[in-house]
Amino acid sequence: MANYIGSSLKRKEDRRFITGKGTYTDDIVLPNMTYAYIVRSPHAHARIKAIHTDKALAHPGVVAVFTGKDLQDDGVNPLPTGWQITDSMIEPPHPVVAVDRVRYVGDPVAVVVAESRAAAKDAAELVEVDYEVLPAVVDATKAIEDGAPLVHDEAPNNLSFTWELGDKAATDEALSKAAHITRLEIINQRLIPNAMEPRSAIGDYHPARDELTLYTSSQNPHLIRLLMCAFVLGIPEHKVRVISPDVGGGFGSKIFHYPEEVIVSWSSRKLGRPVKWTAERSESFLTDAHGRDHYTVAEMGMDEDGTILALRVNTIANLGAYLSTFAGGIPTWLYGTLLAGQYKYPHIYVQTKGVFTHTTPVDAYRGAGRPEATFVLERLMDTAARELGMDPAEFRRKNFIPADAFPYETPVVLTYDSGNYEGSLEKAMQLIDYKKWREEQAKARNQGRLIGIGISCYIEACGIAPSKVAGAIGVRAGLYEGASIRVHPTGQVTVYTGAHSHGQGHETTFAQIVADGLGISPDNVEVVHGDTAQIPFGMGTYGSRSLAVGGSAIWRAVEKIREKAKKIAAHKLEASEDDIVFEDGKWVVKGTDRALTLGEIALTAYVPHDYPEGLEPGLEENSFYDPSNFTFPFGTHISVVEIDPETGKVQILRYVAVDDVGNVINPMIVEGQVHGGLAQGIGQALWEGAVYDENGQLLTGSMMDYAIPKADDLPHFEVDRTVTPCPHNPLGVKGAGETGTIASTACIANAVVDAVSHLGIKDIPMPLTPERVWRAIHGK
């Protein structure tokens, strides 16, 4: 019997993508469909004095024009946020369409629905909005100052919350006694996700059945349905079906419940016709939730021999104009709890201020809090090693949590499940030949060349999360995952998963699990995701949770199928249940050659003429899996860069990634995830960054201005693994979607600073563009 788990099976979903037969939301055309175009605020902050829609309404082909007031008068509620960070968190309403004030460039102010996209767009130009432009603030450190323009009147100093974790007194005391303190001021710049498929949504209301179908490019259709039905529109959940078909990348940006999903749903209910909206890329730049945007002061104290004593981190996090779905949790629980990294910290204290500004809302972007934490820590580790005159690898090794210390409780509330940090560092150093590069670096310096070596040792908490923990930290949702397995009478299998694939290859990975679990070929397993009408319930995909939580749910359902199959096999084979074992993909009477396959058992289950007394016919099982802990992937990345002193351009000479994501189901897919993550993390280090002018205009509002990594910007990555299985889920898996992004930003930044540190340069703010690096080198 083939062992599919662990093999690099070609992806089942690829045939449709390579032949142009995928179905993304914008590909869907429904009879009698209309098109929505959204009029958006050109100002970062303004009062809406009046909106004149009559000219737009008179435009040929226009079906309707709606304003925020129309939605409000019809009882449409503001968009909710899903994560309450503190009891006193200020949570101002987020209207679906602005009513009297706009708070960022891109805030929706009116909706034009027409017979064609072109007519809707033409008519949108005719909507006249009288604005009284108000002063705006875009920088969170300025927004909390007294006298700064207020984004929401109910949030003084633009503060939504102040969150803290760890023992402040003990940390302060330890730092006061430290022989050496390393201090860094870090700007983790704002990023714009740029999934290649722009967001799209279609509302399709059927008046006679009173049923609404929402097609949306979302990472979690069930959550969208729940939020929209229960909080925003107040319509019954069982009358709403949300379908997220093929989705062209998400990286976090498609987790959230967006205004446009409500706009097309509500409009379709009003008009009794399907309404489609698809973002133009410039709208994506303005309205997809952005990522990162932290200002941090971090201090780490050490004793004389380089043993870490304490870490104190103060972060100001820019939340943008409104609280997006998971906004509060990203710079707090998904950030502060990760600040122990791979190291033994006796004391840690972290404080985060969540601040409103007149900018696009900020929420999870690949890694979501964990790259920010890793960046703080790993920049500190390199800087401290340099200040102490130690090798950065040696300094890390000295402070690692040892492999025999697991499960390990950190001072920031996490209990790491398993790890071997020394193991991955060792492997990465060997792969890159660390010693040789240190020698090369010394030689190069003598020749006036600038070579730098960067190390990044990271920890990730993924597989979110035990629902009990989620509740305790303010998540307004459970974070289990659902799965259902239907064995058809002929022995083929359909798997329904609450996880959602938007590039991750679930249709293959999950099929491999079920194939091994039930003794069939993956060709006989179909994985269905992204449809609330078919799947029992699901929390969707983010935080590298699909396999650890969704895969575990599938495995639990496999076990239930196996249990029932065993009863049927025992009856058919006239053996005791205790004597039936699942071996080589069959149900076998122990020690004999008498056996049944899944197909034989399934047929019996659906044609139960000769069947165990009291057992229900059919072969279908549901499972909801709630994890008992997060999982903690880890690893070490090492890069070597060379900087051209004349231009400041950074060239990556080598990039080695050694990751430990626990057991691996499909190595090819895991490596692909790492590659993609590296591209995004390196993108942040070297090129990417959102820039607003002081009036709140997004200057990097197109692909011409915002530097997404291209094929010839990136090196060939050398990817390897160690395997430390997760001890608390049935597959022993940890999660692989974000490791690359989490580790690589700090890895590259460390390499760049390492290349120029002998020139007295301690830090260069990201992105490390040629201009910035050149200025640092030349002191200009």
Partner 1 sequence: MGHSIKVTVNGVTHEATVEPRMLLVQFLREVLLLTGTHIGCDTSQCGACTVLVDGVATKSCTMFAVQADGKEITTIEGLAANGDLHPLQKAFWEEHGLQCGFCTPGVIMSSYDFLKRNPNPTEEEIRHALEGNYCRCTGYQNIVKAVKKAAQSMS
User: Where on the chain is the footprint of partner 1 (CB under 8 A)?
Assistant: 10-11, 13-24, 26-27, 29, 118, 194-198, 246-249, 251, 280-282, 502-505, 668-669, 671-672, 675-680, 702-704, 708-712, 714, 716-717, 740
Between residues 536 and 672, which has the closer beta carbon with respect to partner 1?
A: 672
Which residue in this structure is represented by tokens 């993550």? 677
Distance (Å, rounded) from C-alpha 707 to C-alpha 145?
Answer: 32
Torsion sign, CA atoms 513, 518, 521, 522: negative
Least Cβ distance, residue 427 to partner 1 (angstroms): 20
CB of 482 or CB of 683, closer to partner 1 = 683
Place of tokens 């107040």: 234
Minimum distance of partner 1 from residue 19's CB (angstroms): 6
Comparing CB distances to partner 1, the nearer of 563 and 705 is 705
HSE, side-chain direction, 13 A CA sphere, residue 452: 30
* CB under 8 A, 24+ apart: contacts of 400-403: 400/342, 400/343, 400/344, 400/425, 400/457, 401/342, 401/343, 401/344
Which positions ≥6 away from 695 have C-beta within 8 Å? Answer: 44, 136
Distance CA 88, CA 525 (A): 49
CB of 250 to partner 1, least distance (A): 8
Q: Give SS3 for 515.
A: helix
Q: Least distance (Å) from partner 1 to the CB of residue 656? A: 14
> Strand, coil or helix: what is 383?
helix
Closer residue to partner 1, CB minimum distance, 186 or 191: 191
Between 198 and 633, whose beta carbon lies closer to partner 1? 198
With contact defined as beta carbons under 8 Å apart, do 282 and 106 qualify? no
Query: Would you say 16 or 778 has its CB closer to partner 1?
Result: 16
Q: How far apart are CA 321 and CA 775, in angstroms?
A: 33
Of 9 and 228, CB closest to partner 1: 9
Closest distance to partner 1 from the beta carbon of 324 (Å)? 20
271 — phi, psi (to 5°)? -95, -15
- Could you tell me the smallest distance in angstroms from the CB atom of residue 385 to partner 1? 29
Calculate the CA dihedral of residues 442, 447, 449, 452 and round it to 10 degrees: 0
Q: Which is nearer to partner 1, 248 or 301 (CB)?
A: 248
Reading the block at residue 630, the tokens are 């997060």
Q: DSSP string of 198-242? A: PPEEEEEEETTTTEEEEEE--S-HHHHHHHIIIIII---GGGEEE
Q: Smallest distance, Å, CB 673 to partner 1?
A: 8
**How many angstroms separate the Cα of 264 from the Cα of each of 113, 203, 273, 629?**
9, 5, 10, 38
CB of 213 to partner 1, least distance (A): 19
Smallest gap from Cβ 731 to partner 1, in A, equals 21
Q: Is the peptide bond before 767 cis (omega within 30 degrees of 0)?
A: yes
CB of 116 to partner 1, least distance (A): 9
Closest CB 122 distance from partner 1, rounded Å: 10
ω into 407 cis (within 30 of 0) = yes
Q: Which is nearer to partner 1, 24 or 231 (CB)?
A: 24
**Residue with smaller CB distance to partner 1, 60 or 234:** 60
CA distances, 755 to each of 211, 395, 643, 766, 776 (Å)? 61, 18, 7, 15, 12
The minimum distance between CB 680 and partner 1, in angstroms, equals 7
Cβ nearer to partner 1, comparing 22 with 770: 22
Closer to partner 1 by Cβ: residue 39 or 565: 39
Minimum CB separation from partner 1 for residue 8, in Å?
Answer: 8
Q: Enter the DSSP assignment of 350.
A: E
Q: For partner 1, which is the closer residue by CB, 25 or 67?
A: 25
Nearer to partner 1, 16 or 758 (CB): 16
Euclidean distance between CA atoms 721 and 734, whole angstroms:
13
Q: How far is the CB of 671 from partner 1 (least distance, A)?
A: 8
Tell me the CB-side half-sphere exposure of residue 300, using CA atoms within 13 A.
26
Angle, helix 739-756 to helix 770-778, in steps of 10 degrees: 30
- Between the alpha carbon of residue 724 and those of residues 365, 406, 733, the distances in Å are 26, 12, 9
The residues with which 35 forms a beta bridge, in sequence order, are 114, 276
d(CA 500, CA 489): 27
Question: Of 481, 555, 549, nearest to 513 (Cα)?
Answer: 555
